[in-house]
Amino acid sequence: MNLIIPLCLGVLAFIDGTLCGFRSAAGRNPRIFMWHYYRAAFGRGAAFAAVTVLAFSVVAVGLVLLGPEGTWASLLESATVLVHIYGAFATLTLIALGLYLIGSFDFGVLASVLVLGPFTLLRPWTIMLGAIYAAATATTVIATVFSLAAGVVMWNFERLLDVGSPPWRGLEGDRRRA
């Protein structure tokens, strides 16, 4: 049984969810020293992503065990499509992120201007187009529905995290929340 592809897809979803946690928290806290704040935000995104990946894994296992013959193969085919599309997107994003974090001042800003900013806007569309393409080329209805469901969940991932990230209400507001 080929587990590499589902594993890759799970890792991609986990990375995406973790970065969603950061984005959802960014711009809501005006402090300068933000390590603890962002660490918590990354953690929240990662936890949320892990639960989502686990839920999809359980459903996939259930479908393979209870569904008709060929379900695993069709899910694997759709997952392969998704890994190619999302993998390319994630690779470019992570390279840019690395450049931003360890590159010089100019390279950092350039990575942000050319990749990190535009890719934030492209992300939901990439997710949805990838899911639609995987669904359209799927060989079973189960794989079609599974691909679209994964796309819809990831499309809404950041919005769901936003629900738990209220706007900053001043230091007093922080203390009240704590």
The answer to whether the beta carbons of residues 150 and 57 sit under 8 Å apart is no
Minimum CB distance to another protein smaller for 31 or for 39: 31
Number of residues that bind another protein (CB under 8 A): 25
CB of 139 to another protein, least distance (A): 36
Residue carrying the six token digits 């922080």: 174
CB of 122 to another protein, least distance (A): 9
Q: Any contact of residue 51 with another protein (CB under 8 A)?
A: no
Q: Any contact of residue 163 with another protein (CB under 8 A)?
A: no
Minimum CB distance to another protein smaller for 113 or for 129: 113
Q: Which of 109, 129, 136, 145 binds another protein (CB under 8 A)?
A: 109
Concatenate the DSSP letters of all residues of 142-159 into one string. Answer: HHHHHHHHHHHHHHHHHH
State in Å, rounded, how far the first CA of the chain is from the last one. Answer: 48
Only one of the segments 24-32, 46-54, 74-82, 85-93 lies at the binding site for another protein (rule: CB under 8 A); that segment is 24-32
Other C-beta atoms lying within 10 Å of the C-beta of residue 53: 19
The answer to whether the beta carbons of residues 115 and 91 sit under 8 Å apart is no
Q: Which of 65, 170, 176, 177 binds another protein (CB under 8 A)?
A: 170
CB of 68 to another protein, least distance (A): 43
Only one of the segments 9-17, 27-35, 48-56, 65-73 lies at the binding site for another protein (rule: CB under 8 A); that segment is 27-35
Three-state SS at 9: helix
Q: Please state, in angstroms and rounded to a whole number, the distance separating the CA atoms of residues 113 and 120.
A: 11
Residue carrying the six token digits 């974090």: 101
Q: Any contact of residue 94 with another protein (CB under 8 A)?
A: no
